[in-house]
Structure 1
Amino acid sequence: MNLIIRGAASPDDAYMPIWAPLLAFNEKTVGNAQGEPFALTITAPDSDEVQGGLWGLSLWGSFYIGLVVTPEGARGLGLGTQLMARAEAEARARDCRNMWLDTYAFQARAFYERLGFAVFGQIDGPAPMFPRWFLRKDL
């Protein structure tokens, strides 16, 4: 087989053609591999403008939290805790065995640990971005 590797003109347009054969392999091997997304948004009461929220994905009995954002002026008011509690309730409703996420040194490790998450992996690198921690919580 004669193949070459080249830079994609549009990385966004290249995603699905790259992902499709991997998804097909995964589904052939283990069944459904697409996951089920979950999202919560934070808005003002009289607006649909998204100011923050949480995005996650359940797959194979695990619930991944990809994004957690609270508006800067509203941090410390419990919104993040509420987002995470609702995500955990959803994970349990989906019969997930655990939740996991990652966070950088300049982000929210202590917040997640207060919610019962524990570090299971770490990537080191230059400050102030790193280390990057991977945390999980068994349900």
Structure 2
Amino acid sequence: MTFTPVIRETDKPSLASYQQGLKVLRATTTDAVGPPDNHDFALLITAPGDTTVRGGLWGQSRWGAFYVDMLVVPEDLQHMGMGTSLMQRAETEARGRGCHLMWLDTYAFQARPFYERLGFEVFGQLDGSEPIYPRWFMRKVLA
């Protein structure tokens, strides 16, 4: 690279800038260990006949592990088994992809007991100010 780099700061990065950065990262990864084994997954909650997403589960499998990036159940659908159903469907997908574990992170004000009921265990923790922290990193080994 023969240029003088310019670093621009922004608190509103565009999706295009993220995708460009990801392209560079994936090229570096490919050089180091071969093509990235990234496969996205989503379960989207919509109203019948509507395409507006009201919640769901977003994840990604990579190198034999399945990461649950985000689980969102609309308030009016909570405590009805929706979150459990989404997580079970994601686990079925993870197993179908040959993943050996699932992992996620959750904050103190979120859903650690919910994930523990589904068989997840804490493997890491970041501490900070209450009521946000601690932040737990959790996994479930898929036998």
TM-score relative to the length of structure 2: 0.88
Percent identity, please. Answer: 52
Q: 1:7 to 1:34 in 2, by over 3 A?
A: farther
Structure 1 outlier segments of 4+, above 3 Å: 1-5
Partner of 1:138: 141
CA RMSD of aligned residues (A): 1.8
Cα deviation digits, residues 86-137 of structure 1 (max 9, x gap): 0000000000000000001111010000000000001111111111000000
Contact map agreement 2:37 2:61 (CA 8 A) in 1: no
The partner residue of 2:76 within 65, 73, 76 is 73
The partner residue of 1:33 within 32, 36, 47 is 36
Q: Aligned to 1:15, what secondary structure does the other structure show? A: helix
Which segments of 5 or more consecutive residues in structure 1 lack a partner in the other structure?
none
Partner of 1:82: 85
TM-score relative to the length of structure 1: 0.90
Within 5 A, what are the aligned runs for 1:42-81?
42-81=45-84
Q: Following the alignment from structure 2 to structure 1, what is the Cα–Cα distance between the partners of residues 4 and 51? A: 48
What is the CA distance between 1:27 and its match in structure 2? 1.2
